Chain A
Amino acid sequence: EPEVTQTPSHQVTQMGQEVILRCVPISNHLYFYWYRQILGQKVEFLVSFYNNEISEKSEIFDDQFSVERPDGSNFTLKIRSTKLEDSAMYFCASRNQQDRQEKLFFGSGTQLSVL
Chain B
Amino acid sequence: QKEVEQDPGPLSVPEGAIVSLNCTYSNSAFQYFMWYRQYSRKGPELLMYTYSSGNKEDGRFTAQVDKSSKYISLFIRDSQPSDSATYLCAMTGGYQKVTFGTGTKLQVIP
- Given known contacts A42-B101, A42-B103, A109-B41, A104 and B46 CB-to-CB distance under 8 angstroms: yes
A91 to B88, CA, bound (A): 15
Which residues from A are CB-within-8-Å of B95?
100-101
A41-B102, A42-B102, A42-B103 given; A101·B97 CB < 8 A: yes
Report whether A45 and B102 are in contact in the complex, using a CB–CB cutoff of 8 Å: no
Measured CB to CB, the closest approach of chain B to A43, in angstroms, equals 4
CA distance A93 to B43 in the complex (A): 9
What is the chain B residue whose CB lies nearest that of A55?
B95
Partner of B44, one of A41, A56, A91, A102: A91
Is B100 touching A103 in the complex (CB atoms < 8 A)? no
Q: Residues on B close to A: CB < 8 A?
A: 32-34, 36, 41-46, 49, 51, 88, 90, 92, 94-103
